[in-house]
């Protein structure tokens, strides 16, 4: 299903890579990005509007651009509702959590750092497993699924696409870390919106206008017109909602931005981010409704994944050069999540795993408490900055290589499929969702309840969820998802602290009243 020649696709890849690297280089010449705060948090003063764009586009995973069209095509109005609404809500849910963690840990960089302060080392390590796994899957999905789609559309081999995109994002990401990610996120979101603004209205007009959309609102079967369709809600909506909300809570990409954006406008940034995200799938869903219109006679070629229905529709009505806009949208969504994943892994490793000597630990604690450093301590701080930034760049290289290796295993090893890793990924995220929220709002939640609740939910829930998906038992899949939330909540409630937690800090002696 090629929509452009391989040689043209190579040119597009090179131009895209040069543009991103050049944009990063031109906006990252300040010495600030050589410090820990600069590299890991972009100086903590990112404007809310720029942060909102970055949050939204890093949540637009490349395959989602096509899945949104597929859901509208196959399941009509409720299909796109249960895809778009939970995605929007989960970003908005993060708003108060971002304010909370920024208040409790003003000089932090990652969510597991809060878990380390709040609980103990074993709980901290358990969280790191979940958070690292999430980033590995984020990178693997972009490289494998995004690379496969790009290959399908252009004829460029999947392996080549994966390697080129991995090298591209690693190159510009390593220049200035979060600064690079946020700047390129803005460019990539602009590309997605510009391309969508070109092809969506044009396709609608060529297909017969709004009336053609209305004829396909019920999906390809015509039976899914009600927003409250119980079948779609049970088969798709419940598990998707739990997975997405849990996923965003286990995604360091978003927690890192909570420490990056100007703290006075965090709520505004996350609410606007939800809206900016929603624009993309809702607009793309019109292509799915058009394709579901039986009078247009659009279908995917035999043997082609149904998520490509939007490409088939656009190719049916528009000239080939216009269809290339879909490829540019794919690159924008793919690279925005890739570079965000690299930065997230960088902060997870450098700020949570790299051992520090006594002097470095003392410097970090004084920095957290906002105490003035002596001239000798400032020299130690400079060395520590170089150490953390350097280790962060090595972490970027390591997670990129790991993502590539997993992607190649999926590509070459028979029976080793992405969906199996994806199921585990969803369950891992669900296991830490409730404890994460409680750690910020309830002073008596204890490490014992969090650790054993998370571990029990994972050991019991994961096998059930994987088995239910293999066997196609939707009821068991829903039960496993809900059960994980129930188990982790129960353990946290059954094993509370005897005394309320207090965090030593000059500006915060304990969690606010009403948290008990």
pLDDT digits (tens, 9 = 90+) for 473-515: 889 988 998 999 999 999 999 999 998 888 655 444 344 444 4
What local confidence, expressed as pLDDT, does residue 516 receive?
44
pLDDT value, residue 308? 86
Round the average pLDDT of the chain to a whole number and report it.
89
Q: Which of 40-49, 148-157, 264-273 has the lowest mean pLDDT?
A: 148-157
Please say if the pLDDT value at position 461 is more than 60: yes
Domain boundaries, the chain: 6-412, 422-516
Tokens for 19, please give them: 């543009």
CB 462 within 8 A of CB 424: yes
- pLDDT of res. 426: 76
Indicate whether 254 pLDDT > 50.
yes
How far from 121 is each of 114, 125, 344, CA to CA, in Å? 11, 6, 20
Contact residues for 168 (Cβ-Cβ < 8 A; gap 6+)? 13, 16, 17, 20, 21, 335
Distance CA(223)–CA(103), nearest Å, equals 49
Q: Which pLDDT belongs to residue 185?
A: 94
Is residue 252 within 8 Å of residue 57, measured between CB atoms? no
298 and 291 Cβ atoms separated by less than 8 Å? yes
pLDDT of 264 higher than 60: yes
pLDDT over 60 at 90, yes or no: yes
402 and 348 in contact (C-beta within 8 Å)? no
Handedness of CA 335, 336, 341, 342 (dihedral sign): positive
Helix locations, 105-237, DSSP H? 111-118, 121-141, 147-154, 158-176, 178-207, 210-214, 230-232
Cα 465 to Cα 483: distance, rounded to the nearest angstrom: 10
- Say which residue, 88 or 371, is predicted with more confidence: 88
The per-residue pLDDT for range 342-352, each reduced to its tens digit, is 999 999 999 99
- 67 against 56, higher pLDDT: 56
pLDDT tens profile 420-435? 777 777 788 899 999 9
Assign 445 to helix, strand or coil.
strand
Two tokens at 366? 């004084």
pTM reported for the whole predicted model: 0.90
Cα 475 from Cα 491, distance rounded (Å)? 24
SS3 10: helix
What is the DSSP code (8-state) at residue 446?
Answer: -
Calculate what percentage of the chain has a pLDDT beyond 90.
Answer: 60
364-391 average pLDDT score: 84
Local structure of 351: helix, strand or coil: helix
What's the CA gap between 20 and 12, in Å, rounded?
12
Whole-number pLDDT of residue 433: 94
Superfamily of 6-412 according to CATH: Sodium/glucose cotransporter (1.20.1730.10)
């Amino acid at each position: 299903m090629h929509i452009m020649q391989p040689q043209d696709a190579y040119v597009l890849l090179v131009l895209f890579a040069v543009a991103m690297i050049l944009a990063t280089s031109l906006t990252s010449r300040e010495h600030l990005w050589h410090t820990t705060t600069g590299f890991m948090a972009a100086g903590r003063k990112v404007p809310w509007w720029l942060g909102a764009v970055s949050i939204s586009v890093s949540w637009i995973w490349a395959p989602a651009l096509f899945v949104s069209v597929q859901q509208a095509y196959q399941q009509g109005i409720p299909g796109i509702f249960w895809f778009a609404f939970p995605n929007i809500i989960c970003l908005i849910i993060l708003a108060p959590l971002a304010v909370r963690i920024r208040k409790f840990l003003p000089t932090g960089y990652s969510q597991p750092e809060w878990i380390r302060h709040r609980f103990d080392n074993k709980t901290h390590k358990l969280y790191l497993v979940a958070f690292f796994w999430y980033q590995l899957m984020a990178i693997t999905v972009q490289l494998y699924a995004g690379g496969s789609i790009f290959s399908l559309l252009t004829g460029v081999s999947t392996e080549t696409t994966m390697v080129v995109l991995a090298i591209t994002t690693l190159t510009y990401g390593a220049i200035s870390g979060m600064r690079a990610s946020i700047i390129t996120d803005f460019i990539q979101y602009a590309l997605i919106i510009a391309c969508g603004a070109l092809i969506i209205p044009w396709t609608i007009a060529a297909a017969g206008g709004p009336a053609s959309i209305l004829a396909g609102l019920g999906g390809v079967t015509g039976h899914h017109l009600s927003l409250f369709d119980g079948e779609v809600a049970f088969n798709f909506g419940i598990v998707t909602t739990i997975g997405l909300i849990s996923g965003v809570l286990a995604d360091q990409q978003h927690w890192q931005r909570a420490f990056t954006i100007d703290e006075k406008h965090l709520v505004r940034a996350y609410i606007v981010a939800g809206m900016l995200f929603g624009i993309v799938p809702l607009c793309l869903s019109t292509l799915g409704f058009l394709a579901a219109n039986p009078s247009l006679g659009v279908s995917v070629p035999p043997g082609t994944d149904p998520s490509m229905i939007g490409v088939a529709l656009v190719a049916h009505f528009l000239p080939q050069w216009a269809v290339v806009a879909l490829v540019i949208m794919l690159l924008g969504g793919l690279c925005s999540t890739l570079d965000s994943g690299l930065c997230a892994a960088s902060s997870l490793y450098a700020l949570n795993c790299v051992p520090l000597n006594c002097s470095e630990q003392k410097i970090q604690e004084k920095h957290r408490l906002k105490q003035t450093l002596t001239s000798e301590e400032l020299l130690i701080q400079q060395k520590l900055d170089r150490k953390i930034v350097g280790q962060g760049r090595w972490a970027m290289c390591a997670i990129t290589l790991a993502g590539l290796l997993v992607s190649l295993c999926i590509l070459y090893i028979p029976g080793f499929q992405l969906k199996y890793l994806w199921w585990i990924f969803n369950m891992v995220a669900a296991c830490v969702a409730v404890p994460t929220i409680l750690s910020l709002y309830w002073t008596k939640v204890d490490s014992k309840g969090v650790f054993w609740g998370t571990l029990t939910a994972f050991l019991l829930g994961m096998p059930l969820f994987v088995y239910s998906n293999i066997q196609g038992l939707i009821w068991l899949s829903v039960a496993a998802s809900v059960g994980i939330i129930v188990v982790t909540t129960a353990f946290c409630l059954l094993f509370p602290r005897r005394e309320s937690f207090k965090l030593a800090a000059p500006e915060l002696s304990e969690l606010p009243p009403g948290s008990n």
